[in-house]
Amino acid sequence: MTRGMLLGAAAMALMAGQQMPAHAQAQAELAAITPPAKAFPQDPGSDYFLANYTQYEAYLKQLAQQSTRMKLVDIGKSAEGRSQWMAIVSSPANLARLDHYRDIARRLAKAEGLTSEQAQALAKEGKAVVWIDAGMHATETVTTQSQIQVLYRMLTMDDAETRRILDDTIILFAQANPDGLELVADWYMREADPKKREFRSIPRLYQKYIGHDNNRDSYMSQMPETTNINRVLFREWFPQIVFNQHQTGPAGMIVFVPPFRDPFNFNYDPIVMTELSEVGSAMHSRLLAENKPGSGMRSAAPYSTWHNGMERSVAYFHNSIGLLTEIIGGPTPENIPLIPDTQLARNDEPLPVAPGEWHLRDSLEYQWSLDRAVLDYASRNRERLLFNIYRMGANGIARGNRDSWTVTPADVDAVKTAGASKTSSAGATAPATPVEPARARGSVDPALYDKILRDPAKRDPRGYIIPAGQADMPAVVTFLNALFKTGVDVERATADFTIAGKRYPAGSFVVKTAQAYRPHVLDMFEPQDHPHDVEYPGGPPKAPYDVTGYTLAYQMGIGFDRILDGFDGPFERVPDLLAVTPGAIKGKGGAGWLIDHRANNSFILSNRLLKAGVPLFWLEGPTRVAGESFGPGTIWVPASAAAKPIIAASVRQLGIDAIAVARAPAGRTLALKPVRVGLVDQYGGVMPSGWTRWLLEQFEFPFQVVYPQELDAGNLNAKFDVLLFSDGTVPAPANGPYRAGRESSMPKPEDIPAAYRPWLGKVSDDRTVPQIDAFARAGGTVVTIGGATRLAPLLKAPLQPALVKETAGKVEKLDTKEFFIPGALLRAKVDSAQPLAYGMPAEVDLFFDRSQSFRTVGDAAGVARISWFDQPRPLRSGWALGQEKLQGTTAVADVDIGRGKLFVMGPEVVQRAQPYATFKFLFNGLLYGPAVAATR
């Protein structure tokens, strides 16, 4: 029975002179809602069954028609074009006033123009907003199947707790990865025999481009699903709790539940962490009260709160409580192993679970308890949650309007060093006395607090100014849009202005820190200073959860000024996402056009011209035209009827200029040619290759994906000009000097559809490398990034890894106690006169994640050093142990291999498609290598 049928029954009762009691009408509605067991081919949560997204979508639409407790909203399209649905669940009375409650949530979260008294009044009136998603990582099947059952229960249960939750809260149930759910469920269900069903062997990534990294895109918002989610979280609904559900749980346990282990990021408001502990405790307590053992927290798993890129962690920088659970289970029953250490109760594992068989239905019941615990907490603490998100936002505004300091490990180390120096000069520290308790033994001179921790020169900025007229303004727009997508307020100057004695042009951008999302602003502009986190004093470093240094402004090469004192000017708030300022054709010469190489968008124009068969050149030396200087690599397009309309249309769209000149520039040129790029991948998908595929599409490079079997077959020069090996595409021995990426097993050919069998296989030393070598020596270009640089010595390039040791005649990676850089930004020199670095500045920030650096061997003939580390402390953001070992080593090299080229890029120059400042290493290589080969 639909909602309309129920209302019709009520009307008929009235016409017959009967009064249908409100309670009876409500009960009739609840009873009429279709249960999952009747809506799906099999009850979601039962063994050997997975509902796909098509079925889930149909059920959502059915529920929306049947229930007055739910409103269905399309929040945008997925990468493959599916609608990403969000079910808003609350009481009918609340749903009737959704816009009103959403406005209250917005006003409190943004905290602008509100007094404490006004905020308290709004908090008393408002409703707590809770986001609960599912399916971000599609092979983590518990979350999607449980959400179906949770929705049904929330729409049909009529107990006192449910009614209170519906009255006090507005719940946003969302599906984070529609495409992945469809792929994984269909792959699992393709087998008629339930016992043969599995999804470990899916042939590609479960997000079109980036698979598991869809939970690393939160501050960048490059994927459509991330953009959709961030818009809901930080621009439309502003939930106080963001619950991001995952699996799998720690071995020998059922589920990991917050709170998390350190380190604690120094930018966000501490209230969000204490509230996070409260919610986590409520979740554990509910499991225990319901006799559901096996939950763990903190040290039970490696999850921390440092990195901003994940959905639940980006919430912290927006004053929202970010929750992560990791639970075991799946449609195929499994066994909980007996791990002795997990059987000993402790604070972080309060109630051990017995080993035994486990079913998906068991996980669903745990997930239901966890969801209910979160919702019960939100209901009971509604006013406090609403007021505290205002308080944190108001704190951010206040801190941005006054002198403030963020204390980091480097500051604390400076105090300790200064304190030790004073203690040493004054003599040994006296033993503790009753007046000076033992806990004060580590104390130092209190004057160091003001001298070091409150040094005026180390104040947090009041804001950042991004001057107009930078070499790559489209990249600036992309950076600002990343901020805007995460709810940050951005302003633009309407006229020239002067701050701290410096003149800025109209069109410059301003990001002030006096805003509610100040923690996120600081995290995107300021360097991360990760603590020196070790397993035990003097022990090896403890691996962080994801990367440690990621300052987006550094990665993207954005020029900005930190303003330490209060300032204002002729600024207006940017209302929505920015478009690039249209470029233009300047000058009236008829010989052709010059285009600056420094803007990444110049490669889009170049690819369009090459696709049309237009002659295209790079100038090898600098040139000067009409008073304007151009560096090496300037693009030269001779005048032609084919070129003119492409340039005219593209410069406007791409935000770059073309200079029409009267005569062709003097000096040597390099003639470009259309290129055939083979992007190497493997069965199951390699995430860095997927990111690179997305990047190549954005910049309109022609390419096709190539798999190891095709490489092994040889004759590669007939098909490709360039072979591109992303990190993770070249297997490497364990404990060797090269990072190998995630290990994955290949299914048997007979176990998968015939269409996918050509994708099987891996790059191998014995079969693949000889074909790559022949390809390069015959004039092909081989581009290697990250761990794929293992190919350099295999191709007999005169390069050897520098960050190694020799043990019993075997070359191994350095011990982590000697050298450990787990995802950080390092400053490196660049030779921008070399074609591989055309358009780049003299220094750049490189993303370095357990990467390799190189030294030349022999006479090094045919090796050009493109980028290198010239100082003992290149760290710019993150954590680096033993960084001095990098000094003098080569990060990026250009190597002649026969008639072809090998480009060796040890750092991740296209890391998650974020470091716009280093994209040109790759883009130049794709065009430069084939151009050189054509002239040999």
Mean pLDDT of 673-701: 98
Average pLDDT, the chain: 94
Strand 804-807, strand 810-813: pairing: antiparallel
> pLDDT tens-digit profile of 523-567?
999 999 999 999 999 999 999 999 999 999 999 999 999 999 999
DSSP reduced 3-state for 488: coil
Residue 428's contacts (CB-CB under 8 Å, 6 or more residues apart) are none
Tell me the two tokens of residue 313: 């962690």
Element (H, E) at 9: helix 3-15
DSSP assignment letter at 916: G
Q: Which of 422-426, 626-630, 767-771: highest mean pLDDT? A: 767-771
Question: 117-126, 159-168, 322-331, 927-936: which has the minimum mean pLDDT?
Answer: 927-936
- CATH code reported for the domain at 677-747+754-802+852-866+889-935: 3.40.50
Residue for token pair 């302003």: 491
pLDDT of residue 744: 76
Mean pLDDT of 419-431: 60
Pair 218, 308: CB distance under 8 Å: yes
User: Considering only CA atoms, which of 473, 467, 681, 651 is closest in space to residue 578?
Assistant: 473
DSSP reduced 3-state for 117: helix
> pLDDT tens-digit profile of 308-361?
999 999 999 999 999 999 999 999 999 999 999 999 999 999 999 999 999 999
Mean pLDDT of 231-254: 97
Pair 264, 408: CB distance under 8 Å: no
Residue for token pair 């990034």: 785
* 801 beta partners: 854
Q: What percent of the chain has pLDDT over 70?
A: 95
* 134 beta partners: 175
pLDDT of residue 928: 96
The CATH architecture to which 33-390 belongs is 3-Layer(aba) Sandwich (3.40)
pLDDT class for 802, splitting at 50, 70, 90?
Answer: very high
Helix boundaries (H) for 70-139: 92-95, 98-110, 116-125
Pair 583, 652: CB distance under 8 Å: yes
The CB-based long-range contact list for 533-540 (8 Å cut-off, 24+ gap) reads: 533/262, 533/263, 533/879, 539/817, 540/815, 540/816, 540/817, 540/820
pLDDT of residue 416: 94
Tell me the two tokens of residue 658: 């073309």
pLDDT of residue 128: 98
Q: What percent of the chain has pLDDT over 90?
A: 90
Pair 14, 79: CB distance under 8 Å: no
pLDDT of residue 440: 60
pLDDT of residue 852: 96
> pLDDT tens-digit profile of 461-486?
999 999 999 999 999 999 999 999 99
**Residue 19 pLDDT greater than 60, yes or no:** no
User: Considering only CA atoms, which of 491, 518, 486 is closest in space to residue 234?
Assistant: 486
**Residue 423 pLDDT greater than 70, yes or no:** no
pLDDT of residue 4: 47
- CATH code reported for the domain at 585-671: 3.30.70
Helix boundaries (H) for 157-237: 160-168, 178-189, 224-231
pTM: 0.95
Residue 1's contacts (CB-CB under 8 Å, 6 or more residues apart) are 9, 28, 32, 66
> pLDDT tens-digit profile of 836-887?
999 999 999 999 999 999 999 988 889 999 999 999 999 999 999 999 999 9
**Residue 927 pLDDT greater than 60, yes or no:** yes
pLDDT of residue 935: 79
Phi, psi of 248, deg, nearest 5: -115, 165
Question: 18-32, 41-55, 398-412, 882-896: which has the minimum mean pLDDT?
Answer: 18-32
pLDDT class for 13, splitting at 50, 70, 90?
Answer: very low
Residue 222's contacts (CB-CB under 8 Å, 6 or more residues apart) are 694, 913
> pLDDT tens-digit profile of 447-461?
999 999 999 999 999
Mean pLDDT of 92-112: 98
**Residue 92 pLDDT greater than 80, yes or no:** yes
Mean pLDDT of 480-503: 98
**Residue 432 pLDDT greater than 70, yes or no:** no
pLDDT of residue 9: 44
pLDDT of residue 441: 64
Pair 493, 510: CB distance under 8 Å: yes
pLDDT of residue 437: 53
**Residue 15 pLDDT greater than 50, yes or no:** no
SS3 of the chain: helix, strand, coil, percent, to 5 = 40, 20, 45
C-alpha distances (whole Å) from 62 to each of 39, 76, 143 are 9, 20, 20
d(CA 315, CA 308): 8
pLDDT of residue 478: 98
pLDDT of residue 25: 72
> pLDDT tens-digit profile of 591-608?
999 999 999 999 999 999
pLDDT of residue 6: 43
Pair 652, 915: CB distance under 8 Å: no
Phi, psi of 405, deg, nearest 5: -135, 145
pLDDT of residue 433: 43
